[in-house]
Structure 1
């Protein structure tokens, strides 16, 4: 009987301390739901953590956002994720994916439609508005038009075949015999005939004076006019033979071939350049928008887009340029991020609403899963608390034995 006095208190303290701590830890999570007796909820149901899961979720959210996901930490994480090498590789992958997508006929058709709409808007709407705004400036296209005039128009000279073709076109289309005949008839009015006859009489000398004063030109010019009116076919034939006899085609070709702006005086060339510049400006101010819109409407931009995309598919230059383009875009993005990333993170956190997301996820977790998650993290620590309760109970039992023995 005396031996039980020494062994029972320590063993009882060990069992009580161990079981008490184990029950206390289990009561943190269990029961998972409240229990009622006679309409009255039993105390400690549900467990401490399920009963305060909302406050726990808010505390977890505050802890994470206050210590872990601060703007500074997100800034550091973003800088590591958006390193130039990673960004460049991602951009190159996207570019290569876009190029590979063009190999699919259906995707190419959709891309061509989008690109065609962009080109149509650019040339049909945006560019005319831009030209209309720029055309109000006094120096609009001044340097460009001067360069075109100096490098192209100033050195422009027709070759011998071109001059011959131009001369033939003039004689056949601009001033054919019928046009010359009609012009001659229009010129030989009664007033002009009288003026020519009087001038001939005044200026004629020698034998011509005798002809001028005895016969004059009036009757001859009247008869010439009447012949051109009454016999148009014969008159046209005579004029054609006359043009051929005087070598009009050759003479006009020589004049056209030798025609060059460089042969004009410098002052005249400068005036001509200014006239050309002002004429182009006036045309663009008055009709530039309409001309570009009409030109854009007459072009099938979808076909143009298909041609461009087809060319890009076979372009070796594009494939070689993709890495450099990726690096350049990554460098541009890095400069932007170095300057604005921290302020951007401050703006992103409220938009992401991370605190609300964390609270909702914790509240949506069932008590069983929440217990399993916590147990997986601190199972050893919780078991150590249970064991510590048993050790403390055993020590208390030993102290009782000593107290009963000596006091």
Structure 2
């Protein structure tokens, strides 16, 4: 009568009593009582917190995070449509083309913008920079062949030796010369010589270029220029001059970044193929031994962070999770969805396995009491 019949029987339109059995008839109420019992006595918030602590031990959390990181890395490796590369490329494009220019424009207004970094570059790079012998030789060759070839020197002489400049040089030589030079300056002067030099440079172009080249070679201008470049260093300047140069460089960089830094970064961002860069970065990450070796360290650090967070807020998290999980309703729905036959089998199984001792004890007590009663009747 507890379980059977499983369904109600009718005589006409009237339901027969004791159909269905007691438990199938009150299965919904039984489900509610089971849920209330479990949630009120077994799965209390304190027990759920203890369960969460056991589940979220550092070792388990670290293993789960490591699995997720490895899964994410495998997903990146298996990404044939390059979705990850497109996303990363968009992030890099926005970072360099939009966010960085605005940030630089704001930071460049500060007086101490990149002060430490620029000072370090100046002190460790520019201040100690000095050309090697080979570099000085190549630079001197470039200066003499490209910047100051004979034809350029000739044209510079022509432009310099104007009538006014010749007159100024001649008059100055006459006024300031003394002794033997005074006699030469006042008798011969420099006007005629300088005028003839200019005329020669104008009329005899090839010849003057040849003469200038010979003079450069005979005067060893290349060797002197190479030695001068090799000995050129900011360390030879006075300390005050070096400090002023450092401040000037810092101010120039800050002013340039403030005025044109955003424009330069935006132009640079437009000229870069960010998807290709992202593909290269991801390919490097996939094959990087450092990344693979650091996954365990990263997962451990994240697990420790999560552990500290749970120690502080586990109670409130569980309190918020209980209504979301709706465990009591899950129990009710599960019991209600169980058929009467399955419910009977489950209860009978529990009774047979766990309560058989009570049945045996009842039989023994009945036999003993019956024996005493029989003996009592015989004695009477």
Tell me the TM-score range normalised by the shorter chain: 0.7 to 0.9
Flag the 1:45–1:226 CA change in 2: closer, same or farther, 3 A.
farther
Question: Partner residue of 2:319?
Answer: 346
Question: Partner residue of 2:168?
Answer: 195
Q: Which runs of 5+ in 2 are unaligned?
A: 370-380
Matched, 1:263 2:240: no
Question: Partner residue of 1:3?
Answer: none
Give yes or no for contact 2:3–2:340 (8 Å, CA) kept in 1: no
- Out of 63, 69, 72, the position equivalent to 2:43 is 69
Question: How big is the shift at 1:266?
Answer: 0.9
- Quick one: distance in 2 between partners of 1:88 and 1:108? 31
Higher gyration radius (CA): 1
**Secondary structure at 1:137's aligned position in 2?**
coil
TM-score for the superposition, normalised by structure 2:
0.78
Give yes or no for contact 1:149–1:273 (8 Å, CA) kept in 2: yes
- RMSD over aligned Cα, in angstroms? 3.7
Flag the 1:92–1:41 CA change in 2: closer, same or farther, 3 A.
same
Question: How big is the shift at 1:324?
Answer: 3.3
Q: Which runs of 5+ in 1 are unaligned?
A: 1-22, 396-407
Give yes or no for contact 1:49–1:56 (8 Å, CA) kept in 2: yes
- Quick one: distance in 2 between partners of 1:199 and 1:374? 127
Counting only pairs closer than 5 Å after superposition, residues 140-155 of structure 1 correspond to structure 2 as: 140-155=113-128
Give yes or no for contact 1:120–1:296 (8 Å, CA) kept in 2: yes
Which piece of structure 1 moves more, 147-156 or 238-247?
238-247
- Quick one: distance in 2 between partners of 1:62 and 1:301? 59
Question: How big is the shift at 1:251?
Answer: 1.4
Question: How big is the shift at 1:374?
Answer: 3.5
**Secondary structure at 1:26's aligned position in 2?**
coil
Matched, 1:246 2:219: yes
Question: How big is the shift at 1:230?
Answer: 4.4
Which piece of structure 1 moves more, 256-265 or 349-358?
349-358
Matched, 1:275 2:248: yes
Matched, 1:84 2:58: yes
Which piece of structure 1 moves more, 108-117 or 72-81?
108-117
Instruction: Point out 4+ residue stretches in structure 1 off by more than 6 angstroms.
Output: 382-385
Flag the 1:228–1:370 CA change in 2: closer, same or farther, 3 A.
farther
Counting only pairs closer than 5 Å after superposition, residues 279-318 of structure 1 correspond to structure 2 as: 279-312=252-285, 315-318=288-291
- Quick one: distance in 2 between partners of 1:192 and 1:57? 115
Question: How big is the shift at 1:164?
Answer: 1.1
Give yes or no for contact 1:101–1:108 (8 Å, CA) kept in 2: no
- Quick one: distance in 2 between partners of 1:69 and 1:287? 65
Question: How big is the shift at 1:233?
Answer: 3.9
Which piece of structure 1 moves more, 153-162 or 89-98?
89-98
Flag the 1:46–1:189 CA change in 2: closer, same or farther, 3 A.
farther
Q: What is the CA deviation profile of residues 187-222 of structure 1, one whole-angstrom value per residue up to 9, with x for unaligned ones?
A: 333433332232222223344434433454344444
Give yes or no for contact 2:28–2:336 (8 Å, CA) kept in 1: yes
Question: How big is the shift at 1:263?
Answer: 0.9
Counting only pairs closer than 5 Å after superposition, residues 6-405 of structure 1 correspond to structure 2 as: 23=1, 25-26=2-3, 30-32=5-7, 34-37=8-11, 39-42=13-16, 45-98=19-72, 111-312=84-285, 315-378=288-351
Flag the 1:282–1:185 CA change in 2: closer, same or farther, 3 A.
same
- Quick one: distance in 2 between partners of 1:355 and 1:235? 107
Which piece of structure 1 moves more, 198-207 or 310-319?
310-319
TM-score for the superposition, normalised by structure 1:
0.74
